[in-house]
Amino acid sequence: MFRKPLRMYEDCPHCGIHFEREDGYFMMSVFVGYVMSFIIGVAVVIALYLTIRPSIWGYLIGATVALVLLSPLIFHYARVIWLYIDQLLDPRRENEK
């Protein structure tokens, strides 16, 4: 789906489907990204709690650094996951590109 970080193909290089089915199609992937970020943030806080038990600022900084570092991955996977969810709920028809 991606030709380089943060750059998507317009159409699938393998089967030719057009990824953006309508204007704003990927707005919902932003919501998927929020959910992913929340889960990652909680995981980081739990990991910190179980290991070094930092002060409250340590949790905040740890979660923020992790999310900033992971944001390109979150961006990519949010879009991939959204495509799967959309395909599940509203499958593309045979003749639809």
Residues near Zn ion, by CB under 5 A: 12, 14-15
Q: Closest residue to Zn ion, Cβ-based?
A: 12
Residue 10 beta carbon to Zn ion: minimum distance, rounded to whole angstroms: 12
- Beta bridge partners of residue 7, listed in sequence order: 4
Residue 13 beta carbon to Zn ion: minimum distance, rounded to whole angstroms: 7
Instruction: Give the C-alpha separation, 3 to 31, whole Å.
Output: 23
Q: Tell me the HSE value of 33 on the side-chain side, using a 13 A CA sphere.
A: 17
Instruction: Give the C-alpha separation, 85 to 68, whole Å.
Output: 25
Residue 22 beta carbon to Zn ion: minimum distance, rounded to whole angstroms: 18
Select 48 or 86, whichever has its Cβ closest to Zn ion.
Answer: 86
Select 14 or 53, whichever has its Cβ closest to Zn ion.
Answer: 14
DSSP 8-state symbol, 4 = E
